[in-house]
Amino acid sequence: MPKPWRGVWLCCLFIGWLFAGCVAPPFYSYLVYENPTSFVRLEVSPWVDPNIPQTLNEHPATLSRRQMIEALSGLRVREYRSGPIRWIRGLADPEPAFNKEEIELLVPRLLEGLGLAVPQELVTFYISHPVNATKREVTSGGMYVRDGHLHVIISNHRTNYEIPPAGLIYDRRYPLFSLAPLDVDLLYETEETVLPKKKSLWDAIFGDEHSGEIVLDLSRLSMMKM
């Protein structure tokens, strides 16, 4: 769908929601890619207020392939440990957030999604690996650009999801929804690439800051085209 018409469609969507009242909105606004175990799609950003410009995302956004590869390959996850546990056991070892196959699958689709998105949207992703007939391992989240920074959200990381007997599939419908409390911290291999967060005195003392979102400075990611 051409970008101008997608913008008109999105405005109509918002108006339709206002008149629809209790009618549930669609789960996504545009499907970039889908297979039986993964997808990348555009969704309306839940934090965006069209009347408040500073809440809008800087979309469409253009990143180089090298930038996206560096962004995904540099992400690390580390088992979350609260202050007291950290004092006793220390920090867990970080590990890559995505493996090589996942990065190869996500890179071109995330680039396409960011290039198609309008300011009211973000790009969401979902990857699953079957464990057995009723259980799968889910990694999902979202991505958006604002103020020259790439925001990456990890809502689930290798989270086990068991399909209920009724067959309701919530994990594919809501990639930004955590199926269980997130049990990892999100890090990046080079600290200078990450936008620092303001820490409270409590966080500084007990180390309890815990977030599934990380903000990367795009100017520090490679601009070299591949």
The Cα–Cα gap between 128 and 37 comes to 5
DSSP H or E segment with residue 74: helix 65-74
The Cα–Cα gap between 98 and 105 comes to 10
**127 — phi, psi (to 5°)?**
-135, 130
pLDDT tens digits along 42-80: 999 988 888 999 999 999 999 999 999 999 999 999 887
Which candidate, 91, 195, 86, places its Cα nearest to that of 148?
195
pLDDT tens digits along 197-207: 765 444 444 45
What global pTM score does this model have? 0.80
